[in-house]
């Protein structure tokens, strides 16, 4: 999605550099923002101090550009330590991308160097969160179901929900829906071009040539497969049943349950 936005709005002739996706899609967990207000190493800053600084940091990010700023967040839509993880006063709207947890478990395991069972346990952990480090401040994910419910339970005009699977199966319709939500009117040729320059194959080729700064040290690659339905081949019956048992309610809301024959 971030690659698509850059390729659409910058309209380059070549695929936009994946290592420059922070040009105008900022990450809300980047500790460097907090260090503008507190010079100590991030690992020395407490969660309480991060929480107190968060609204000010979100204001700084908003003011970092003269126009709209796109923010990448992993956070659950929740309040923590007296402040919201998402500062609504600085938020115009949200594009929420959801993916089948059966496939998320596989991707999560690869990204963090875990077994499938370990990834399943993480995705089922209430209140799942990270810690402060010198590079990133703590994030609150919650379980997969908690995260989904926090963002999507109350539908409103400022929220646009996108299924990952629809980005693959119907890119023109799905990305076109994103443009409509953003109030952008572009030509069909420009939309087609942005989709083409942002394809998973193109992103994979870029990472292969020059690497990707967001890849974890334990992952072989960040852009791994980019497919839907891998769970059918890679998960055991026990693993499938275990994921469904925990997340069936939210899976059903987005067409992931009942499972296909």
Neighbours of 80 (CB within 10 A): 18
Residue 261 lies in a domain: no
As a whole number, mean pLDDT of residues 234-251 equals 98
Residue 259 lies in a domain: no
Residue 117 lies in a domain: yes
Whether residue 183 is predicted with pLDDT greater than 90 in this model: the reply is: yes
Whether residue 67 is predicted with pLDDT greater than 90 in this model: the reply is: no
* CA distance linking residue 145 with residue 141, whole number of Å: 10
As a whole number, mean pLDDT of residues 184-209 equals 96
pLDDT of residue 152: 98
As a whole number, mean pLDDT of residues 27-46 equals 97
Full domain range(s) for residue 167: 2-253
What's the number of domains the chain is made of? 1
Whether residue 78 is predicted with pLDDT greater than 80 in this model: the reply is: yes
The model's pLDDT over 148-176, given as tens digits with 9 standing for 90+, comes to 999 999 989 999 999 999 999 999 999 99
Distance from the Cα of residue 94 to its chain's centroid: 11
Question: What's the CATH number where 65 sits?
Answer: 3.40.50.300
* CA distance linking residue 42 with residue 57, whole number of Å: 14
Residue 114 lies in a domain: yes
Residue 222 lies in a domain: yes
pLDDT of residue 59: 96
List phi, psi (to 5°) of 21.
-70, -10
Residue 166 lies in a domain: yes
Q: Is 1 exposed, middle or buried (0-12, 13-18, 19+ CB in 10 A)?
A: middle
* CA distance linking residue 52 with residue 39, whole number of Å: 15
Neighbours of 256 (CB within 10 A): 22
Residue 258 lies in a domain: no
Q: What is the mean pLDDT of the chain?
A: 96
């Amino acid at each position: 999605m971030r690659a698509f936005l850059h390729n659409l709005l910058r309209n380059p002739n070549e695929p936009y550099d994946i290592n420059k996706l922070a040009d105008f899609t900022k990450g809300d967990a980047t500790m460097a923002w907090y260090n503008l207000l507190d010079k100590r190493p991030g690992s020395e800053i407490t969660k309480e101090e991060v929480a107190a600084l968060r609204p000010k940091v979100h204001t700084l990010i908003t003011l970092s550009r003269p126009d709209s700023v796109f923010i990448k967040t992993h956070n659950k839509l929740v309040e923590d330590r007296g402040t919201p993880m998402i500062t609504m006063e600085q938020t115009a709207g949200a594009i929420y991308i959801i993916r089948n947890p059966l496939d998320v478990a596989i991707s999560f395991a690869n990204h963090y160097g875990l077994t499938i069972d370990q990834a399943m346990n993480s995705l089922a952990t209430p209140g799942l969160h990270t810690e402060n480090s010198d590079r990133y401040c703590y994030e609150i994910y919650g379980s997969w179901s908690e995260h989904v419910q926090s963002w999507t339970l109350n539908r409103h005009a400022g929220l646009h929900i996108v299924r990952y699977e629809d980005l693959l199966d119907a890119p023109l319709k799905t990305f076109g829906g994103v443009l409509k939500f953003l109030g952008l009117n572009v030509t069909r040729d420009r939309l087609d071009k942005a989709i083409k320059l942002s394809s998973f194959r193109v992103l994979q080729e870029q990472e292969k040539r020059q690497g990707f700064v967001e890849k974890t040290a334990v992952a072989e690659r960040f852009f791994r497969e980019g497919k839907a339905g891998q769970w059918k081949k890679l998960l055991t019956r026990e693993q499938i049943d275990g994921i469904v048992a925990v997340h069936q309610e939210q899976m059903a809301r987005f067409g992931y349950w009942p499972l296909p024959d």
